[in-house]
Chain A
């Protein structure tokens, strides 16, 4: 769970390795200090160590692995066209990850990270230009998705500055914006395959899982979010959080009491499962077993969280009842 399961196809495996090799070649061509940064895992994954970045296999599969997750739709491409789009899409997504980290102030060297972002974005776009002429409708999709990305990031900044901006529409916009750079790869592949009609179901499926993902993050990290002063949609749905004041520790306790009183984590884990169901439904007419297996793995994980969450609440409710009846 969490790692990309490549199609059992030697060509798919070879192409995946080739995209990794191209990333390393890209890093080799960068100025030395940026090349070093591009080869560190923490640049993209936020881990504090100096471990090397192993390439796109190191990333969450949905980030750069969509050409393989929807392999049945795109396996007919010749190697060069497939690789140009997969490489361009991967670099474009890596640029967006880095931009996220820069905005969240999670990078050690923001100036250098900005330069690396610029290099990733420029080379990613160049790869896509090589695969798709300017006359194709892909570039209109590219503009649309880039605008969605920007709007999502701006909405997030606005909501952090003014909590009242954090409404359901804002939350959805933020989640959709986050996934837009990933959809760029699929838009390019759909256009190049001459079947633009397959993009909307794939895009909808990714957008639904993006909402589920953000919600699950927010539920799992609510305590750390309060401690870091980070406002999330989930937190704003807890009256006890909205009405609490004081030091973070006091807000955490008030919020915990609010979650426990109404089992709000359980409610929102169920909402997460609804979004995952929608993600599956969106691609019901598309052959994409790899993608469906990925969503199913994520559904199982969410359900496991739900099991643990429900068990915690049940223990809290039943323990005093059992103790009372025994005394």
Chain B
């Protein structure tokens, strides 16, 4: 998926990738992210992704770089 954007540690990068992949596919995590209280979100990240609150703060910049990626071209196979 994403290429490594900054020099965060490999471990944090792996967790970031895991977070995104789980949020794509896991209804449980996704629902908590969408509608959970902050404490529930923090608990879900810790239990389901293995991310501590401190690690969340450390991966946020890389996450933002992925979110802001403008290189993905919307393209229709029939357009």
Contacts and interface: CB of A to CB of B under 8 A. Distances in A.
* Chain B binds chain A: yes
Interface of A: 1-2, 60, 62-63, 178-179, 182, 209-210, 212-214, 216-217, 220-221, 261-263, 266, 270, 294, 298, 301, 303-308, 310-315, 317-322, 324-326
B51 to A, nearest CB: 10
A210 B78 contact: yes
29 contacts: A60-B77, A60-B78, A62-B77, A182-B78, A212-B77, A214-B76, A217-B76, A261-B34, A270-B24, A303-B1, A304-B1, A305-B74, A307-B1, A307-B24, A307-B66, A308-B66, A310-B20, A310-B24, A311-B64, A312-B67, A315-B67, A317-B33, A318-B56, A318-B60, A321-B38, A321-B56, A322-B53, A322-B57, A326-B57
B74 A220 contact: yes
A65 to B, nearest CB: 11
A305 B33 contact: no
Interface in B31-79: 33-34, 38, 41-42, 53, 56-57, 60, 63-64, 66-67, 69, 72-79
B1 to A, nearest CB: 5
A178 B77 CA distance: 12
Contact of B79 (A1, A209, A213, A321): A213
B57 A313 contact: no
A311 B41 contact: no
Contacts of A2: 75
B43 to A, nearest CB: 11
A301 B67 CA distance: 15
A213 B33 contact: no
B47 to A, nearest CB: 16
Nearest to B36: A317
Given A63-B78, A262-B34, 15 more contacts: A1-B75, A60-B79, A62-B77, A182-B78, A210-B78, A213-B77, A216-B76, A220-B74, A294-B77, A307-B1, A308-B72, A311-B63, A311-B67, A314-B67, A321-B38
A308 to B, nearest CB: 5
Contacts of A303: 1
B60 A322 contact: yes
A301 B77 CA distance: 11
Nearest to A209: B77
A266 B78 contact: no
A220 B79 CA distance: 13
A325 B60 CA distance: 14
B74 A221 contact: yes
Contacts of A261: 34
A320 B72 CA distance: 26
